[in-house]
Amino acid sequence: MDLMDLELVEQVARLDAWLGEGGVVVLSGAGLSTDSGIPDYRGPSGSARRNTPMTYQTFTGDPLARRRYWARSHLGWRTIGRARPNDGHRAVARWQRLGLLHGVITQNVDGLHQAAGAADVVELHGNLARITCLDCGELTGRADLQRRLTAANPGFTAVAAAVNADGDVELEESALDGFVVVDCLACGGVLKPDVVYFGETVPADRVSRAFELVAGARTLLVLGSSLTVMSGRRFVLRAVKQGVRVAIVNRGVTRGEPYADLLIDAPLGVVLPNLARQTDTYRLLPH
């Protein structure tokens, strides 16, 4: 951290004190995973600036769009599946081990919180590592699907131009010719990543659990989210309504600014490791 930036030092010290009190709920967004090589949606290099994310209606209603998605996602998983937790994910997992966290809610679908050691993470939008059948509901692992898609498309040699935050890639339309989509082995139904697409509703039990966590928190700590969509912003609004402090660490504009008791506009890769070093000195708090 730049020790010459006294305002930033003071902000981090304030957040450090709140962490030391415990009862913190983390709400993470795509900005937390950028240092792991996964782009965000709306940052300076965000994928929302380059492409329109897949919607549930398009995926289920258009076989050609579904084929396009799976071809791109098949390539994208080579990056997403190899991504590893960064210092921010490790910091959150460390706070949880120290008993400082009341809960972790993530808008991300990359599973990096769990890979860093965090437990009981509420995955609002699901996880790309799981595949669901829209007909029979069977859940399978992504590795199995990757092997099946590779076997079904031995001549598929397309190269991704850029990976998007939702796991697919930018790809020339001509590269999709002949790509074969596989179906559910159990029933022959349509397969879909176990994630919430745009236009799809987050399962009620996940939302309910997240609201419960916020209600029992001292501080809601938002990490790497612009809070542009209501899916995440509603938890900030609920925190404010219930008198829970809101702290936001995000690079760039966030729609949570009017509600934040503390807003730190700085790279998470700078702020969070410094907080992690400070919180290492805390005693283990009772759960």
Residues at the binding site are: 29-49, 107-110, 133, 136, 184, 187, 224-226, 250-252, 268
Angstrom distance (rounded) from CA 201 to CA 135: 18
272: closest CA among 207, 210, 223, 214?
223
Which residues does residue 131 pair with via DSSP β-bridges, in sequence order?
Answer: 140, 193
Sheet holding 245-249, edge to edge: 121-123, 101-106, 24-28, 219-223, 245-249, 262-264
**Cβ–Cβ < 8 Å for 93, 121:** no
Nearest-angstrom CA–CA distance, 249 and 261: 11
Q: Please, which residues bridge with residue 219 across strands? A: 24, 245
Distance CA 284, CA 13 (A): 19
Q: Judging by DSSP bridges, how do beta strands 191-195 and 169-170 pair with one another?
A: unpaired
Q: Known binding site for Zn(2+): residues?
A: 133, 136, 184, 187
Distance CA 236, CA 249 (A): 13
Indicate the angle between helix axes 268-279 and 6-20, nearest 10 degrees.
50
- φ/ψ region of 222 (left if φ > 0, alpha if ψ in -120 to 50, else beta) reads beta
* Annotation marks residue 287 as catalytic: no
Q: Return the bridge partners of 122, or none.
A: 105
- Residues comprising the binding site for NAD(+)? 29-49, 107-110, 224-226, 250-252, 268
> Considering 74, 89, 125, 287, which one is annotated as catalytic?
125
Q: What are the tokens at 86?
A: 């960064």
Residues annotated as catalytic are 125
